[in-house]
């Protein structure tokens, strides 16, 4: 029996030896200039005008390009589809000059009118684009998006010739070149969309391989749901000759543990994130020197917070919301749960964003929290339902959720059940107010406090709380019109105070990019906004 068993054992050994000689995907990727990335979640769509998740936009950065792009290190706008731009003396007219010879990925010419038509689509009410508000500084853009004006030609954007986009604003917006770098403002090929009935409709098949036509450095080659998205070098990109990568494969791996194992096994070049429990080990053992260590702990302009559904009783009472927020020990969460990898958030705006430093904050005050709950008629949690706390099924939010659950039970007598959801469902529930309490997150699109505070205006595309405050909206409207920095920041401070008084959200912690990066990946600097110019990335041993 031993002899008969030894044969398959020997064959298995030979097979393993043979496998050991096989080239690992990450190694092969260096040879073929194919970047392999963990991407955190399955995209809901690849339509620039409708996606909202950062992981979805991460793929869009490879497939499309705006008039400008944000530099990773400075967060400032630099030339992209537009080679240059200028503003009038009163800052109400911006003129963007396109590069010569721009083409779509199918080889057809891309002209200034494509940007104009694309922005009109983004603003079309039927699309219901959450990010349409980025174009609100444009004359009649907001009115058209809200159905108050029905003539798209009245929107203050035009193309006097094939290489010129002229934009007329209602108010000076010094950061406007940052806005036209956002994925939501990417151009889409209306001729292709028209074939699929997608000009005024979401969710059609124009974004599938063989259909999607973009203008970025890569073109969509394959999309196997919940497995991978493959993009290939686009020879019709204006800077194709200097784009070294031949392709990128995005893996929608929602489990950070699986993502980390894939990295260790040589299957990918970068993880989307890293389990917090493994940060210390990678810090100690990741490499002989700091330069060899693949661990990256990059700063990130992000705030993670809780949303309260203010349309539901008893969360429609601000005293209940404030009590829940003030009972949270954010410093303890940052130190013990997040292992010091992220800073506690006592306000919505990240410290120093665009030079703004808010003066108001949410205190950790158990006594006041208990009194607020008692004043609302729920002393010790009496009469309150068991709240459901929804969170994204990642490695971070569920762990924090369990700590929040314990804090509320211990300090206030409030009972909470934690529901772990896939990203798509988690986002959909927020958009439709199908939740009581849920985790929310915002990564800055541009470094200005308005990008965070503007989320919660009454009709904002991301105000998924049901909360409205006319004075809050008024303050932010005044800040939009203010030119002088000190005056703008004073208005932001007043607005943030009203937000934290109303407490439709409870700030939890600020972000950081914690991930693993293969030493062969070059042209990958830290990025405060999470932007990535894949056309500048290459692989090199």
Cα–Cα nearest to 45, from 64, 61, 60: 60
Q: What is the 3-state secondary structure (H, E, C) of 426-452?
A: HHHHHHCCCCCEEEEEEECCCCCCHHH
Is residue 220 within 8 A of residue 214, CB to CB? The reply is: yes
Tokens (6 digits) for 210: 């063989």
User: Right CATH number for 298-513 from 3.30.420.40, 3.10.105.10, 3.30.70.600, 3.30.70.940?
Assistant: 3.10.105.10
d(CA 248, CA 243): 12
What are the residues facing 419 on neighbouring strands?
A: 390
Indicate the SS3 state at residue 332. helix
Is residue 448 within 8 A of residue 354, CB to CB? The reply is: yes
d(CA 161, CA 505): 46
Strand 247-251 with 228-233, pairing: antiparallel
Is residue 328 within 8 A of residue 373, CB to CB? The reply is: no
Output the CA–CA distances (angstroms, integers) from residue 534 to 234, 251, 348, in the order listed: 12, 16, 30
Tokens (6 digits) for 304: 């993670």
Cα–Cα nearest to 130, from 434, 459, 438, 458: 459
Task: Tally Cβ neighbours within 10 Å of residue 381.
Answer: 17
Tokens (6 digits) for 168: 């007329």
d(CA 35, CA 524): 12
Cα–Cα nearest to 331, from 349, 344, 313, 348: 344
Q: Where are the domains of the chain?
A: 24-45+202-297+516-539, 65-190, 298-513
CATH architecture of the domain formed by 24-45+202-297+516-539: 3-Layer(aba) Sandwich (3.40)
d(CA 491, CA 73): 28
Tokens (6 digits) for 338: 């997040």
Cα–Cα nearest to 440, from 459, 418, 464, 460: 464
Element (H, E) at 31: helix 25-32
Cα–Cα nearest to 169, from 251, 93, 269: 93
pTM listed for this prediction: 0.83
Q: Is 250 exposed, middle or buried (CB count within 10 Å of its CB: 0-12, 13-18, 19+)?
A: buried
CA angle in degrees (0–180, nearest 5) for 155-158-160: 160
Q: What is the 3-state secondary structure (H, E, C) of 67-86?
A: CEEECCCCCCEEECCEEEEE
Tokens (6 digits) for 47: 């339509």
**Peptide bond before 315: cis, by omega within 30 degrees of 0?**
no
Is residue 141 within 8 A of residue 147, CB to CB? The reply is: no
Which class is domain 65-190?
alpha beta
Tokens (6 digits) for 62: 């490879």
End-to-end CA distance of the chain, in Å?
49
Indicate the SS3 state at residue 379. helix
d(CA 145, CA 122): 9
Sign for the pseudo-dihedral over CA of 282, 399, 442, 121: positive
Per-residue pLDDT of the chain in tens (541 residues, 90 and over written 9)? 333 333 233 333 333 334 446 899 999 999 999 999 999 999 999 999 999 889 999 999 999 999 999 999 999 999 999 999 999 999 999 999 999 999 999 999 999 999 999 999 999 999 999 999 999 999 999 999 999 999 999 999 999 999 999 999 999 888 899 999 999 999 999 999 999 999 999 999 999 999 999 999 999 999 999 999 999 999 999 999 999 999 999 999 989 999 999 999 999 999 999 988 898 889 887 766 666 799 999 989 999 999 999 999 999 999 999 999 999 999 999 999 998 889 999 999 999 998 999 999 999 999 999 999 999 999 999 999 999 999 999 888 999 999 999 999 999 999 999 999 999 899 999 999 999 999 999 999 889 999 999 999 998 889 999 999 999 999 999 998 887 899 999 999 999 999 999 999 999 999 999 999 999 999 999 999 999 999 999 999 8
Cα–Cα nearest to 491, from 351, 356, 303: 356
Cα–Cα nearest to 154, from 169, 171, 140: 140
Output the CA–CA distances (angstroms, integers) from residue 333 to 322, 323, 339, 349, 402, in the order listed: 18, 18, 8, 18, 11
Identify the pLDDT of residue 341. Answer: 86
What are the residues facing 157 on neighbouring strands?
A: 167
Residue with token string 């569920």: 398
Q: Is 525 exposed, middle or buried (CB count within 10 Å of its CB: 0-12, 13-18, 19+)?
A: exposed
């Amino acid at each position: 029996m031993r002899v008969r068993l030894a044969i398959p054992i020997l064959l298995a050994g030979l097979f393993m030896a043979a496998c050991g000689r096989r080239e690992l995907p990450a190694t092969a990727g260096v040879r073929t200039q194919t970047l392999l990335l963990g991407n955190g979640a399955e995209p809901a769509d690849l339509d620039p005008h409708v996606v909202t998740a950062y992981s979805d936009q991460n793929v869009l950065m490879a497939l499309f390009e705006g008039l400008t792009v944000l530099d990773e290190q400075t967060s400032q706008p630099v030339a992209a589809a537009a080679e240059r731009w200028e503003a009038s003396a009163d800052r109400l007219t911006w003129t963007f000059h396109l590069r010569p010879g721009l083409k779509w990925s199918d080889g057809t010419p891309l002209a200034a009118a494509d940007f104009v038509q694309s922005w009109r689509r983004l603003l079309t009410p039927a699309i219901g684009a959450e990010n349409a508000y980025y174009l609100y500084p444009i004359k009649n853009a907001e009115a058209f998006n809200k159905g108050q004006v029905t003539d798209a030609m009245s929107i203050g954007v035009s193309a006097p010739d094939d290489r010129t986009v002229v934009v007329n604003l209602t108010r000076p917006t010094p950061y406007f070149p940052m806005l036209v770098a956002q994925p939501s403002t990417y151009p889409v090929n209306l001729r292709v969309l028209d074939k699929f009935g997608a000009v005024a409709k979401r969710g059609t098949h124009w974004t599938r391989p063989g259909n999607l036509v973009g203008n970025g450095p890569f073109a969509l080659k394959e999309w196997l749901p919940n497995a991978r998205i493959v993009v290939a070098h686009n020879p019709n990109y204006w800077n194709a000759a200097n784009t070294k990568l031949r392709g990128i494969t995005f893996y929608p791996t929602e489990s950070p543990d699986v993502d980390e194992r894939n990295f260790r096994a040589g299957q990918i070049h970068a993880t989307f994130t890293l389990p917090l429990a493994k940060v210390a080990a990678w810090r100690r053992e990741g490499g002989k020197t700091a330069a060899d260590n693949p661990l990256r702990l990059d700063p990130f302009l992000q705030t993670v917070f809780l949303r309260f559904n203010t349309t539901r009783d008893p969360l429609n009472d601000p005293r209940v919301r404030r009590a829940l927020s003030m009972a949270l020990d954010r410093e303890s969460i940052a130190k013990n749960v997040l292992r010091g990898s992220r800073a506690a958030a006592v306000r919505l705006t990240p410290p120093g964003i665009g030079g703004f430093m808010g003066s108001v904050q949410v205190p950790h005050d158990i006594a006041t929290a208990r009194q607020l709950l008692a004043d609302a008629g729920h002393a010790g949690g009496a009469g309150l339902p068991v709240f459901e706390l929804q969170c994204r099924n990642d490695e971070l939010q569920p762990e924090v959720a369990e700590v929040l659950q314990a804090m509320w039970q211990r300090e206030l007598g409030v009972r909470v059940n934690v529901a772990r959801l896939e990203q798509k469902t988690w986002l959909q529930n927020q958009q439709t107010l199908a939740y009581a309490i849920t985790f929310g997150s915002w990564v800055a699109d541009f470094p200005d406090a308005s990008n965070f505070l503007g989320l919660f205006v009454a009709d904002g595309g991301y105000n998924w709380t049901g909360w409205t405050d006319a004075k809050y909206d008024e303050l932010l409207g005044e800040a939009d019109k203010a030119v002088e920095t000190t005056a703008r920041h004073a208005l932001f401070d007043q607005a943030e105070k009203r937000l934290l008084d109303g407490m439709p959200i409870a700030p939890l912690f600020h972000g950081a990019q914690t991930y693993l990066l293969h030493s062969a990946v070059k042209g990958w600097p830290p990025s405060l906004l999470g932007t990535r110019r894949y056309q500048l990335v290459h692989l090199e041993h």
